[in-house]
Amino acid sequence: MVIPEKEKGVKSFRVPRIIFNSFIFFILVVVAIIGILSYDYVKILRQVYENRHLSIENRQLKEQIQLFNMKLNTLTDDIERVQQFEKKLRVITGFKEVNQAKPLKYNPGMEAKDADHDSKMPKERSPDSISLPTEEDDLIKEVKKSVDEVSQVEKFQDIKDLYERKIATNFGLLTGYSYTKEWNELIKQSFKLAVSFAYFDYRFSIMRQVAGALENRINGLDQYLLDKDSFLKSTPTLLPSWGWITSYYGPRVSHYSDRVKMHEGLDVGAPIGTDVLAPADGIVKTSSKTPGFGYYIEIDHGYGLETLYAHNSQLIVKKGQRVKRGDLIAKTGNTGLSTGPHLHYEVRVNGTPVDPLYYILD
């Protein structure tokens, strides 16, 4: 209806219901389209922001992976230096392991030096002239290979497939991603990260193997050095008592039977009460008295070494007691079958008497 300002007739127009409903429907459709477009626009803006963020994040990840690889290269160099140091220690200490499964590699010029010797005689080479290939050497060579060189390795392929599957899951590409990953440039770039991740993980896993193997070798060397230290401490290098050697190791005429008998130790002449010291670390095996040796002591030093101290006047240590080199164990005397104050000292290797002078350093 149209109502004019002045007093004139009111005009009225009739709009058919179908047109009115169509107009309302059109308005609603336009509003819905505007709403959908607005939502999509906001969503696109958000996606653009996320893409920009992901692009920056991917660039940072690539830079970080490159940094990790550089650090891994530095770690490889450090492990190589430790490995060389460990090899030198093995040569210095005489604790060398030969891998018989692999041939020895000789330095150039060695054959010329060996030409002067009889070819049938065994050739001895200095430790510096021999390179003993180890498992760690092969692993370190593997770590230094480029991506292209390891791309066909089965282990590398397995790791790369795992990373591609993980990336595909993040993008919702559960199946067929081996083809669809080439369709979108951003997804394509994301999948390229799988190669970098796999390369780093592959090298890192090898370095863990190298570190573990090197740790085992160093532990073995440490145990060997500890054993060496224990062996040196258990070697009887001291003359047990201060005095004069009145009888040496070897055959001599017995004072009691006038027959030649084997004298299985040293006789050290000393006044009664002179200190008798342990010449090495060990455990007292016997501390008692017999008719022949009188008051005597036996010490087990390990490694098949035993020492015996006879004709003492006093025993200081008891059976089972642990002693160290230089500890007071007895006092010299004239007990048992003895012709005068002295210490009878024996060294036995696996139960067999040997000349104690071979061990005495002082």
All domains of the chain in start order, with CATH: 35-97+126-233 (no CATH), 244-358 (2.70.70.10)
User: How does DSSP assign 210-254, residue by residue?
Assistant: HHHHHHHHHHHHHHHHHHHHHHHHTS--S-SBSSEEEE-SEEEE-
- pLDDT higher than threshold 90 for residue 101: no
DSSP string over 10-46: PB-----HHHHHHHHHHHHHHHHHHHHHHHHHHHHHH
What pLDDT is recorded for position 287?
Answer: 96
Mean pLDDT of 339-355: 94
Average pLDDT, stretch 258-286? Answer: 93
At CA 162, angle to CA 161 and CA 164, rounded to 5?
A: 65
The encoded tokens of residue 257 equal 């039977």
What percent of the chain lies above the pLDDT cut of 90? 33
pLDDT (0 to 100) of residue 118:
42
pLDDT in tens, 292-315: 999 999 999 998 999 999 999 999
83 closest CA partner among 210, 206, 205, 203: 210
Q: Name the one residue in this structure whose structure tokens are 């104050």.
A: 341
Which residue, 34, 13, 30, is CA-closest to 22?
30
The pLDDT of residue 284 is above 90? yes
pLDDT > 60? residue 188: yes
Question: Distance (Å, rounded) from C-alpha 309 to C-alpha 268?
Answer: 10
Helix ranges restricted to H, the chain: 17-93, 110-114, 135-143, 147-150, 154-170, 177-180, 185-233
**Confidence bin at 273 (pLDDT 50/70/90):** very high
Per-residue pLDDT, 130: 39
**Listed residue (130, 159, 342) closest to 248, CA to CA:** 342
Residue 121 scores a pLDDT above 50 = no
d(CA 297, CA 286): 5
How far is CA 270 from each of CA 137, 246, 334, 340, rounded to the nearest angstrom?
Answer: 60, 10, 10, 9
Of residues 224 and 27, more confidence is placed in 27
Q: What is the pLDDT averaged over residues 19-34?
A: 91
Report residue 282 as tokens: 């060990």
Which range, of 34-38, 71-75, 176-180, 326-330, averages the lowest pLDDT? 176-180
How sure is the predictor about 274, in pLDDT bands with cuts at 50, 70 and 90? very high
pLDDT exceeds cutoff 50 at 289? yes
Residue 226 has pLDDT above 90, yes or no: no
Burial 294-326 (b: 16+ CB within 10 A, else e): bbbbbbbbeeebbbbbbbbbebbbeeeeebebe
Determine contact, residues 302/234, Cβ cutoff 8 Å.
Answer: yes
**pLDDT per residue as tens digits for the range 44-97:** 888 887 777 677 777 777 777 787 878 788 888 878 888 777 777 777 666 665
- What pLDDT was estimated at residue 252? 85
Residue in 361, 280, 251, 256 with CA at minimum distance from that of residue 309: 280
What are the Cα distances from residue 323, in Å, to 303, 305, 309, 344? 16, 14, 14, 19
C-alpha of 50 from chain center: 45
| Band of pLDDT at residue 100, cut at 50, 70 and 90 | very low
Residue 125 pLDDT: 38
| pLDDT over 80 (residue 233) | yes
Query: 243, 246, 277: which is closest to 339 by C-alpha?
Result: 246
pLDDT in tens, 317-328: 999 999 999 999
pLDDT in tens, 127-172: 333 344 566 677 777 777 787 888 788 888 888 888 777 767 766 6
Higher pLDDT, 100 or 155: 155
CA distance to 103, 104, 185, 319, per residue, from 100 (Å): 7, 9, 53, 46
